[in-house]
Structure 1
């Protein structure tokens, strides 16, 4: 067929499901964690000239987070509009919500019976409204969830404009609808596309989202996506193309402390979003329900003695914890003590259950079992203690956040960044309760949610601010600025960001380049320009055929190299992070990079390496001198294996190298991983 490059089967994808702007440094006033107000917010005018395209479940347009009081006229480059539909018309849009469309063609073909679906951009799920408010919600006083996190709520880019593209419905998000929404967002003229959705892990020429993102990037649009919630397994990360910015999730310095007091006086600490007024007012009998892997039959089978009890349980993967709470309540339980097992082993996540609930670490289950076995009449009561700020350590890499290495091409680091994604306050739709359960009749304006879905819009908002502050910066330049200024240390002096799943220091396979710091990205010193020619050369290095490369880039490309040279092309991708894969008997490997000066003329930088034990590292040259603004210079990084004292060679090593400005303030940091080929294959073989 003329005009058709290829035909792909449709797929159904799923959603990846405040204090946080301040925690990433975007401060509107000085506070205990903010020594000065944000220059980025000021210079970018709160992102007013940028438009964020949100691909999700739609939006609740009447929410005060999306009011337009005091906003400038709609940016002239935006050409979109608001589409009429059920319970939604053009009058619902304003100078804040400037575009709203829905895409259901693929979904209608796949599902046939739409049931109660509302065919418009209106959000009857809550997820889309939540992520939109995180990225670009206006300030709303008195926000909070039943007294928790009660402050002024606002998004990362509070005056950026929002254009929503509803692609997700009750049974998921159809790939064909997502691709159509991409095309529309590009035509409309958005500056950022934000996707908190699932993804397929396919070669790039078979990955329609990667292809759509490439075409958007060509038009100067940054594409931001969530890494996924299937961690902590290695190789689980989604959105693997280098032209997409992939975001993992971590905590902020706020939690919702609660405690269980056992009948013997012992205290077990946890997290809760249940107000103290709703907790059991006296000691109640404790029952141990155990691990729930199939709640639908277990709860019915063991429910006769639940009435009036506090039930202890822990859940396996694929079990809806909200549904567990609902069933326990229906059987007369008065409260639930729950552990999320490997999804959240430290019990960091607080959830809005219909039943009074406290989340505890998996390790605390053993203490409870010991007490139950030693007491003839085990009892407990639960205390909820509200909201705590300035919590340490923070951030912590969430166990559920997906990890690298990259399944399609391990030399491209994924995820790229980590951002706030645990217990995040955001706007909500009044159509559904905070658990999304039909039986949950609570009506709220704000909800607290957890997932890489919540981390993604933090980065989308930051990108919108940077684009407004630096209109000439390309998506690759903005990505570089964010990655090289991200932090790898938490708020405990001298301590690196820790990994919830292991209790050890986190590494680039979990946090990417580090935790988001958009304020520092305003002035990064040096940037790694990622141009589309870089991506084309990279695709040649992947040994793709001319037809396969054309599917991605939209034109014929002559790679002009032999097979021996293609591995070399992979080392030339000008990525702000370095992953080197070595053969079993290979002693040395190297990469080449190119940096551009976006600081002052006449500046000098010196290279410094941290970590990478088991390898000798050489950077050539060791010093870079830039005579003018905008000048580009190249350098090479090479690593050589060295034997330890026992004569062994390492197959995995992690470190960082920095370009430190001499006599200046800029530090340009990149993570470096060295992986043995067999080590990578061993990880990916298990998937």
Structure 2
């Protein structure tokens, strides 16, 4: 696995240099007039000017393009997309010289080569509901308080499992790989008319027509640039909203799928599959194909979703952490900014580049960024050893037909090494070409697998199967929590400790034998949740003064709807309508569903208020009552899971929220370092425009980012001794009681002094907003370790617990 980050890094460098599709003027797309090489470029022009119609905006775009083209070349022939609802801009096939000329035009914020992003690939909701109703203790300043939920929260907890709500017409839009409309998750039985405010369409395409939509799946669009660009580069998202990958069907049913009884993956994970907001409507924006997700299509999806009238946008895709564009060059950051400015909640996946630090993507402060965690379900497949029939616990998905008795010869990869191979370690890892087929035929082979392995597990297994092995046991500590599906070939995965027992058995007998049992589903597995190994980690290299990710949600072995497949277990005649998939892609729609439920109960809330409610009510304890860990067993930090595991029912009654608006985000851009003239273009929709505050040009302006009214706090560069940093926050009382008194509790690590002033907030009928300051200082050089220090600040009125994690870098 160590090769994957390196390959991504090299590809990113090539992309940046324009050596492969999507980069600079050398990108695919054919030659223009005069033999110039053309590629697709995105031109971002900021907010839509006030009182400007889409038609006028389109003509403005065409005139701008025409100004850089050679005389006589039709402007329409180079246009790929035009953005005219949520923001202004376009994508066009241009030469490098034409793109450079556009960068110099007044009113242009950025011009960048169209990037290609990638997808971040119902027991989960039952598990979240159990975590809620168990009333797990919440740690506040060293003392344990049991969350006492209000009557509204108790009612909300009951409705969270079925997603009933005061209003059933929230609309979740998904930017993904499409949808399989025939899935029972999108049946519209029991749904009323489509909301009158819905302005979207159901686009016809290959094997998809307007009747494919209904009162549940109310809209579907796709984006296809076609022509030469489609042929030569990853620009196409197919000629239909129909899902050809399964990813979009899975995420949309996770967010808002109907409750489907009797769901399973060929008998595994049996139960009722349901989405987090089953009463919500679904709108699909197909921006991805098998080749990837074009940035120009992503922007079009955002633009249309805003105009169509969605309430929440779920985005389970992103850039590589090794080629992270700046905000003005990032289609997701651009599109989500303008969606949030229009009052639409945007939830994005954090990425699958963990467990390495500083790999989180989609980290703009206006985005709710989601990490992945496990649930209390495990897919167990054991290795049964000969002699005394000792069972060694393993996990994977296989529908093994081996005899239950241990009768099959067992051999290690090292023992099966080919005589022509000198590398024993490669043989022990069963790397292709290192084993002697005659030695493994008819046997179960024990193979080690690690992050440094050159070959994917499935490829190793395929080699063993082709060579005549009857089964395989893979030793894999890092990826053990993710159940890989091997279908009919008997495979299970075990830990290094378990492998030691098998090695001991092999060395104890001249004829070791074993068998592999078919997979069974184990529920109420402990501990859970655990942060998934693949989940990208903070801090964000772009904005270390904003703590990311924000929260974690189930993203491992998630059962949800899928497209038909031709790979069936023996004896099965029909493909499963559901599949088990892992990734932060799966975690993201869990939070999108929770956000839709919060919005349904609180339709006047801003996206920032919804995010705040989700973050400040998140849980930090597992189902053993202990602190959540990573899958390696180490304590999880806010860099791993943000504020904690999402708690959907608790978020419906948050008590206090941290509000943010468009002007706050614009000030963030000022402090981040953007030019004031650019920000004025982004802020064109604000009455009177916008100007940066006094701190916008200060040398320490990035430190001011810590003062953004975010539900978490991140402070960097604090000295060990004598240094002090103070940040301000404002909270709004949204509880049922207008008169409420909140007191603060601080959990601070050794070596860090944390003071909150005032320590009590008293809300009245006329006072709904109150501010406070938090001061951080190193007590002394000896006690304050260099690095990241984690803690929390919690406000409580006895009914609500409002917790904000913090990280301070010494």
- Flag whether TM exceeds 0.5 (same fold): yes
Aligned to 2:624: 492
Query: Would the alpha carbon gap of residues 542 and 31 (structure 1) be closer, same or farther in structure 2, given more than 3 Å must change?
Result: closer
Equivalent residue runs for 1:521-670 within 5 Å: 521-550=651-680, 553=683, 557-561=690-694, 562-564=697-699, 566-567=701-702, 569-584=704-719, 587-599=723-735, 600-628=737-765, 631-643=768-780, 646=782, 649-661=785-797, 664-670=798-804
Query: Would the alpha carbon gap of residues 433 and 83 (structure 1) be closer, same or farther in structure 2, given more than 3 Å must change?
Result: farther
Distance 1:293 1:109 in 2: 44
Distance 2:719 2:131 in 1: 49
Unaligned runs of 5+ in 2: 1-62, 65-87, 90-107, 137-152, 415-424
Q: SS in structure 1 opposite 2:729?
A: strand
Equivalent residue runs for 1:45-124 within 5 Å: 45=165, 48-105=168-225, 109=229, 111-112=231-232, 119-124=239-244
**Partners of 2:352 and 2:535 within 8 A in 1:** yes
Deviations, residues 544-576 of structure 1 (Å, cap 9, x unaligned): 212443565557642142415624532320000
Equivalent residue runs for 1:291-306 within 5 Å: 298-299=432-433, 302-306=436-440
Equivalent residue runs for 1:322-333 within 5 Å: 322-333=458-469
Deviations, residues 10-68 of structure 1 (Å, cap 9, x unaligned): 11222111111121128999999x99852446785387211111111111111111110
Query: Would the alpha carbon gap of residues 627 and 294 (structure 1) be closer, same or farther in structure 2, given more than 3 Å must change?
Result: farther
Query: Would the alpha carbon gap of residues 522 and 106 (structure 1) be closer, same or farther in structure 2, given more than 3 Å must change?
Result: farther
Counterpart check, 1:234 vs 2:234: no
Aligned to 1:680: none
Distance 2:805 2:474 in 1: 37
Query: Would the alpha carbon gap of residues 47 and 455 (structure 1) be closer, same or farther in structure 2, given more than 3 Å must change?
Result: farther
Q: SS in structure 1 opposite 2:317?
A: coil
Distance 1:40 1:195 in 2: 22
Counterpart check, 1:23 vs 2:147: no
Query: Would the alpha carbon gap of residues 277 and 673 (structure 1) be closer, same or farther in structure 2, given more than 3 Å must change?
Result: same
Shift of 1:110: 5.4
Equivalent residue runs for 1:272-311 within 5 Å: 272-275=396-399, 277=401, 282-289=406-413, 298-299=432-433, 302-311=436-445
**Partners of 1:47 and 1:464 within 8 A in 2:** no
Query: Would the alpha carbon gap of residues 108 and 76 (structure 1) be closer, same or farther in structure 2, given more than 3 Å must change?
Result: farther
Distance 1:566 1:114 in 2: 39
**Partners of 1:263 and 1:380 within 8 A in 2:** yes
Shift of 1:253: 1.2
**Partners of 2:372 and 2:554 within 8 A in 1:** yes
Distance 1:107 1:251 in 2: 43
Shift of 1:235: 0.3
Q: What TM-score, normalized by structure 1, do the two folds share?
A: 0.89
Aligned to 2:35: none
Distance 1:295 1:97 in 2: 47
Query: Would the alpha carbon gap of residues 641 and 544 (structure 1) be closer, same or farther in structure 2, given more than 3 Å must change?
Result: same
Distance 1:40 1:446 in 2: 22
Distance 1:261 1:219 in 2: 59
Q: Which of 325, 345, 349 is the equivalent residue of 2:482?
A: 349
Aligned to 1:145: 265
Aligned to 1:685: none
Q: SS in structure 1 opposite 2:650?
A: helix
- Worse-matched range after superposition: 49-58 or 540-549: 540-549
Distance 1:635 1:117 in 2: 48
Aligned to 2:582: 450
Query: Would the alpha carbon gap of residues 111 and 612 (structure 1) be closer, same or farther in structure 2, given more than 3 Å must change?
Result: farther
Deviations, residues 111-157 of structure 1 (Å, cap 9, x unaligned): 43899985211112111111111111111121101211111211111
Shift of 1:629: 7.2
Shift of 1:92: 0.9
Shift of 1:263: 2.8
Distance 2:660 2:237 in 1: 41
Query: Would the alpha carbon gap of residues 665 and 443 (structure 1) be closer, same or farther in structure 2, given more than 3 Å must change?
Result: same
Deviations, residues 449-501 of structure 1 (Å, cap 9, x unaligned): 111111111001111111111111111100000000000011113x1011113
Which entry has the higher C-alpha Rg, 1 or 2?
2
**Partners of 2:613 and 2:654 within 8 A in 1:** yes
Query: Would the alpha carbon gap of residues 27 and 377 (structure 1) be closer, same or farther in structure 2, given more than 3 Å must change?
Result: closer
Q: What TM-score, normalized by structure 2, do the two folds share?
A: 0.76
- Worse-matched range after superposition: 262-271 or 176-185: 262-271
**Partners of 1:315 and 1:321 within 8 A in 2:** no
Query: Would the alpha carbon gap of residues 453 and 560 (structure 1) be closer, same or farther in structure 2, given more than 3 Å must change?
Result: closer
Distance 2:535 2:216 in 1: 31
Aligned to 1:129: 249
- Worse-matched range after superposition: 580-589 or 147-156: 580-589
Distance 1:174 1:373 in 2: 54
Aligned to 2:342: 219
**Partners of 2:562 and 2:577 within 8 A in 1:** yes
Shift of 1:239: 0.6
Equivalent residue runs for 1:408-447 within 5 Å: 408-431=542-565, 433=567, 443-447=575-579
Aligned to 1:263: 386
Distance 2:396 2:567 in 1: 17
- Worse-matched range after superposition: 109-118 or 352-361: 109-118
Aligned to 2:806: 672
Q: SS in structure 2 opposite 1:165?
A: strand
Distance 2:280 2:133 in 1: 20
**Partners of 1:40 and 1:469 within 8 A in 2:** no
Shift of 1:203: 2.3
Shift of 1:650: 4.1
Counterpart check, 1:163 vs 2:293: no
Q: SS in structure 1 opposite 2:398?
A: coil
Deviations, residues 266-301 of structure 1 (Å, cap 9, x unaligned): 432121322454677642222333777999971586
Query: Would the alpha carbon gap of residues 24 and 434 (structure 1) be closer, same or farther in structure 2, given more than 3 Å must change?
Result: farther
Query: Would the alpha carbon gap of residues 338 and 400 (structure 1) be closer, same or farther in structure 2, given more than 3 Å must change?
Result: same
Aligned to 2:367: 244
- Worse-matched range after superposition: 388-397 or 482-491: 388-397
- Worse-matched range after superposition: 331-340 or 138-147: 331-340
Distance 1:398 1:473 in 2: 31
Unaligned runs of 5+ in 1: 677-687
**Partners of 1:607 and 1:657 within 8 A in 2:** yes
Shift of 1:361: 2.1
Number of positions where the alignment pairs a residue of Structure 1 with one of Structure 2: 663
Distance 1:441 1:117 in 2: 31
**Partners of 2:202 and 2:220 within 8 A in 1:** yes
- Worse-matched range after superposition: 259-268 or 296-305: 296-305
Counterpart check, 1:403 vs 2:507: no
Counterpart check, 1:13 vs 2:117: yes
